[in-house]
Amino acid sequence: MRQWMLTLWASAAIVLMLCGCANDAQRFMSADATYKANLQALIDLRPTGAIDDATALRIEVYRKAARAALDEWETDLLEGRESGAAAAFSRALRMIVAARLEARKAGGT
């Protein structure tokens, strides 16, 4: 239950981040925390059998896309450039969250 609440909070943070209620660094930090919380929830679901091999491969594609977008976003922040990586990250994270919710419905916790 604690992990679920953390994931829910982190997912809510991403919504606030995308609404522009924080500066770029705060949005990046919220995005990074959301990414980590969702991946930890998926890691916890994998041993329960709620995530099959095909879904795990699909999640890995989304994970790589989200990680690449976060890395690009961080580089842009450090170099003081505007970044379009937040939108790419958001798209990938939506797919990760959808896969996590699907796995929970399939019998995970």
* Residue range 12-43, pLDDT digits in tens: 655 555 555 568 889 999 999 999 999 999 99
Q: CA-to-CA distance for 98 and 70, rounded, in angstroms?
A: 19
Q: What's the distance, CA 29 to chain centroid?
A: 12
Tokens 């796995």 belong to: 103
For residue 12, give both structure tokens.
């809510």
Greater confidence (40 vs 105) lies with 40
pTM of the model: 0.74
| Predicted pLDDT at 9 | 61
Q: Where are the domains of the chain?
A: 2-105
| Predicted pLDDT at 88 | 93
| Predicted pLDDT at 87 | 92
* Residue range 59-96, pLDDT digits in tens: 999 999 999 999 999 999 999 988 889 999 999 999 99
